[in-house]
Amino acid sequence: MVGLAREEQQPLLSIGQVLDRLHPDFEDVTIPKIRFLESEGLIKPERTPSGYRKFSEADIARLRYILRMQRDHYLPLKVIGEHLDAMDRGLQPPTPEPVVPTVPVVATGVDGLPSPESFRRSDRLRLSRKELLKVAEIDDALLTELEDFALLSPSATGHYDSDALVIARTARELGDFGIEPRHLRAFRSAADREVGLIQQIVAPVRRSRDAGASARADDAVSEIAALTVRLHATLVKAGLRRS
C-alpha cells in the first residue's frame, strides 16, 4: 500500500514542494507538522550536505498514510508507527475501523414510530461543522441552506448534536428526490406549532409548586410528543392511501 523502499532515479523534493503536493488532500498540514513527524521517527527524508531535507515519492506516500490515519481514523502516532514498522518489515497493517460518531439508536414503538422514551433520550454527541459534513455525507452548501431555513443550528459552542445529524442526513436523502431545504420550511413550521401546543398543555403542571411537578411535566411532554408524531404519521399514511 505504501512504498517504503527508496526508489532511485526519481527527483527528490524539498519540504516546500512536499507541502504543495499534500495540501490539496490535507489542507491542515504545515511544514512544522512535517518536521514534527520526522522528529517522531515516522519519516526519514534524506539530508543534503547543507542539512536540507529531501523527500522521495516513498516519503510522500508515507506522509499521506500518516495523515490519512490521523484524519480519517483518529489513530494516535504510536499506533501509526506500529503500522509503518509492520509495512517496513513487509507485513500488511490491520485495516482500522472508521472511528466516527454514529447516530444514537432511537427507541421506537409500534410501526417504527418514536416512543416516549425516544423523546426523553439525551446524548452528549458534539460534532464540529467539519465532522457533521463528513458523517452526514453532505456538503457545506447544503448545511448552510439547512441553517438558513432554521432546520438545524449549532449550539452556543458551535457544535452539532445527534438531532442535527439526523436532520442533515434526512435532508440529503430527500434531496435525492429533488426536495430542497426551502421545501422543508413547512415541516419546521408544523414542528414549531406542535411544540407550542405541547408547551401550552403542560404549562400548568410545570408551574405547580408540588414536589415532582417538573418531572411530571417532562413525562407529559414525552408522552404527548410521541402521540402527536404517531397521529401525524398516520394521517400522512392515510392520506396517501386515499390519493
Q: What is the pLDDT of residues 17-42, one digit of tens each?
A: 999 999 999 988 999 999 999 999 99
Q: pLDDT at position 163, please?
A: 87
- What are residue 11's phi and psi, to 5 degrees? -65, 140
Q: Among the three residues 88, 118, 150, which one is the final residue of a domain in this structure? A: 88
Residues 71 and 122 in one domain: no
Domain count, the chain: 2
Residues 141 and 185 in one domain: yes
Residues 183 and 118 in one domain: yes
Q: Would residue 5 count as lying in a domain?
A: no
Q: How many CA atoms within 13 Å lie on the side-chain side of 84?
A: 26
Q: Collect the ranges in the chain with pLDDT lower than 70.
A: 1-9, 97-112, 121-123
Domain residues for 184? 110-242
Q: Would residue 44 count as lying in a domain?
A: yes
Yes or no: say if 148 and 140 are a contact pair by the CB < 8 Å rule. Answer: no
Q: Would residue 22 count as lying in a domain?
A: yes
Whole-angstrom distance, CA of residue 59 vs CA of residue 13 = 10
Q: Would residue 192 count as lying in a domain?
A: yes
Residues 75 and 118 in one domain: no
Q: pLDDT at position 80, please?
A: 93
Q: What is the pTM of this model?
A: 0.56
Residues 66 and 143 in one domain: no
Whole-angstrom distance, CA of residue 191 vs CA of residue 197 = 10
Q: pLDDT at position 174, please?
A: 94
Q: Would residue 7 count as lying in a domain?
A: no
Q: pLDDT at position 99, please?
A: 52
